Amino acid sequence: MTILDHEPKAALSAIVEMALIETGNPTAREYWQQAQLRNLLKHVSQRSAFWRKRIGERKTSDIELASLPILTRLDVRDQVAAEGALLRAADGIPIKTHATSGSTGTPVQFYVSSINAQYTSVRSNAQFFMEGLDISFNRTRIKPAGGPIKDGYTVEQNPSYMGPLAPLFRSGANKHIEYLNPDFKKLLSELERNDIGYLVCAPRFLESMFSMFDPIFLKRAKAKMWFSLAQGVSSDMAKIFADLEIPIRANYSSEEVGPIGFECAAYPGHYHVATSNVVTEVVDASYSIDGVQHGKVLVTHLHSYATPFVRYDLGDLACLSENCPCGHQGPTIHNLHGKIGSIVKHRDGRISPFRIRGRELTSLVKFTEYRIRQTDFEKLVVEIGGRSELSSDEIGAIARFLKDRVGQEFEVTIHACPEINWGENRKKDAYRCEVALSK
Predicted TM-score (pTM) of the model is: 0.81
Give the phi and the psi of residue 64 in degrees, each rounded to 5.
-85, 130
- How far are the Cα atoms of 92, 195, 222, 251 from residue 246, in angstroms, in the given order? 45, 14, 10, 16
Instruction: Report pLDDT digits (tens) over 391-439.
Output: 999 999 999 988 888 888 899 999 999 888 877 655 677 888 887 655 4
Burial of 168 (0-12, 13-18, 19+ CB in 10 A): middle
- Is the pLDDT score of 324 beyond 90? yes
Residues 262, 272 contacting (CB under 8 angstroms): yes
Give the phi and the psi of residue 396 in degrees, each rounded to 5.
-65, -40
Q: What was the pLDDT predicted at 343?
A: 73
- Comparing 344 with 281, which gets the higher pLDDT? 281
Indicate the SS3 state at residue 206: helix
Q: Could you tell me which residues come within 8 angstroms of residue 12 by beta carbon, excluding any fewer than 6 positions away? A: 4, 165, 168
Look at 47-61, 245-259, 312-326, 357-371 and tell me which has the smallest mean pLDDT: 357-371
- Is the pLDDT score of 313 beyond 90? yes
For residue 64, which amino acid is it? E
Task: Quote the longest CA-to-CA distance of the chain.
Answer: 76
Counting residues of the chain whose pLDDT is more than 90, the rounded percentage is 58
Characterize the bridge pairing of strands 258-263 and 248-254: antiparallel
The distance from CA 418 to its chain's CA centroid, rounded to whole angstroms, is 28
- Comparing 339 with 287, which gets the higher pLDDT? 287
**For residue 428, how many other CB atoms are within 10 A of its CB?**
19
The Cα 229–Cα 356 span in angstroms is: 18
Which neighbouring-strand residues pair with 294? 287
Q: What was the pLDDT predicted at 368?
A: 81
Counting residues of the chain whose pLDDT is more than 70, the rounded percentage is 93
Residues 31, 38 contacting (CB under 8 angstroms): no
Share of the chain residues as helix, strand and coil, in percent rounded to the nearest 5 = 35, 30, 35
CB contact burial 20-46 (16+ within 10 A = b; e otherwise):
ebbeeeeeebeebbeebbeebbebbbe
The Cα 263–Cα 90 span in angstroms is: 39
Please state the rounded mean pLDDT for residues 153-178: 93
CB contact burial 319-333 (16+ within 10 A = b; e otherwise):
bbeeebeeebebbbb
The Cα 289–Cα 281 span in angstroms is: 19
Q: Could you tell me which residues come within 8 angstroms of residue 381 by beta carbon, excluding any fewer than 6 positions away? A: 372, 373, 375, 413, 415
Please state the rounded mean pLDDT for residues 8-24: 94
pLDDT band at 86 (very low <50, low <70, confident <90, very high): very high
Topology adopted by domain 354-438: GMP Synthetase; Chain A, domain 3 (3.30.300)
pLDDT band at 80 (very low <50, low <70, confident <90, very high): very high
Which neighbouring-strand residues pair with 414? 382
Mean pLDDT of the chain: 89
The distance from CA 333 to its chain's CA centroid, rounded to whole angstroms, is 14
- Comparing 376 with 232, which gets the higher pLDDT? 376
Look at 201-215, 295-309, 310-324, 333-347 and tell me which has the smallest mean pLDDT: 333-347
Domain ranges of the chain: 354-438
- Is the pLDDT score of 182 beyond 90? no
Q: What was the pLDDT predicted at 439?
A: 46
Q: What was the pLDDT predicted at 426?
A: 59
Please state the rounded mean pLDDT for residues 14-32: 95
**For residue 90, how many other CB atoms are within 10 A of its CB?**
6
Please state the rounded mean pLDDT for residues 313-337: 93
The Cα 397–Cα 411 span in angstroms is: 14
Instruction: Report pLDDT digits (tens) over 408-421.
Output: 889 999 999 988 88
**For residue 98, how many other CB atoms are within 10 A of its CB?**
17
pLDDT band at 302 (very low <50, low <70, confident <90, very high): very high
- How far are the Cα atoms of 8, 331, 438 from residue 276, in angstroms, in the given order? 19, 12, 34
